[in-house]
Amino acid sequence: MQKTTTKLADGRELIYFDADGTVADRNYSDLRPLEPTTALSEIRRDPVTGDHVTVAAHRQGRTYHPPADECPLCPSRDGRLSEVPAPDYQVAVFENRFPSLALAAADHVAADPAPFHRTAPGAGRCEVVCFTSQHDLSFAGLTEQQAGLVLDAWTDRTAALSALPGIEQVYCFENRGVEIGVTLAHPHGQVYAFPFTTPRTTKAVAAATAHRAATGRNLFDDLIADQLAHPERVVLTGEHWTAFVPFAARWPYEVHLYPNRRTPDLTGLNEAERAEFPGIYLELLRRFDRLFDSSAPTPYISAWHQAPAGHRDELALHLELFTIRRTVGKLKFLAGTESGMDAFMNDVSPEQAAHRLREVATHG
């Protein structure tokens, strides 16, 4: 893998990742007349729940559903300039022009320690990861080599962003489908570097701590052992990875993918685990697209959970893949109980979901 770092016209960082150096051997300048943007993000703490809420009002003007011939994530070619100056690329990563979090926010937002108005600058980083230069492709349409290069990019960004001062957790994810809220159709994901530990991870830390105190063992080691001992919810296994529907799945179709050997984040994967991942993950994505016998692609969220600073010994890297579609033509809405009380109600049993995901295997 070859990595080439450059700057966009407004000073944001752009990084090309290449398996063979086809882009990295050349230099392409961003010719757009861009002015630097100012990120005024702030993080407010909810005094009742303790959760952090990011307020980023400057994002209201971000690009929204442009036509394909104006896509900002396609390569710059035929006289049209985009966020990626090269006429072609394999994987490209750049700082979001409309970030929810930005390191420069510390220069513009003052901290307030008042108990009911606790505020801090939204000093993090948000990056866009373009999986391919092909606008009409999807992650599921990538080759294993292409998917492996995306894994290399995720790993590189996890290492680099974790090293930034003030960053507690790095989160790589993909939103797919207009039903999820995607505003750019080009196949891409994002990486967020948070200056705090996210609420879902905070709950996992508490659960892992309690499990260690009660049993003397690691929660995630025991979790994987339990899945293998009770395989009714196991969807797919490899030599190094296990995919299963969790016992208390929140979403109609939800799969968790773990390396069998516990590691805190993507940087800890060994070569064998990295080599097996693309095939396993692509198979899961393709099964998701076959779930509903529909010509419409399945909307999903794919989320890498990585250990935050200070909890690397107890938490475990894993990927959570889920869709808000519950059956053909019907979505799972987060209505009164889920949105109002954070109490999920699932319309599909985890065992039924796992059976269906096994049923739509490529070889089936």
C-alpha span between 278 and 143 (Å, rounded): 8
Crossing angle, helix 271-290 and helix 350-359, to 10 degrees? Answer: 100
C-alpha span between 266 and 170 (Å, rounded): 10
Total residues belonging to the chain: 364
Q: How many CA atoms lie within 13 A of 29 on its CB side?
A: 4
Within the chain, residue ranges assigned H as helices are: 144-162, 199-215, 219-229, 271-290, 336-341, 350-359
C-alpha span between 151 and 115 (Å, rounded): 41
Q: C-alpha dihedral over 259, 260, 264, 266, to 10 degrees?
A: -30
DSSP result, 213-265? HHHSS-HHHHHHHHHHHSGGGEEEE-SSEEEE--TT-SSSEEEEEEESS--SS
188 classed as catalytic:
yes
With beta carbons less than 8 A apart as the criterion, state whether 256 and 284 touch. Answer: no
Single out the catalytic residue among 188, 211, 305, 318: 188
- Catalytic residue set: 188
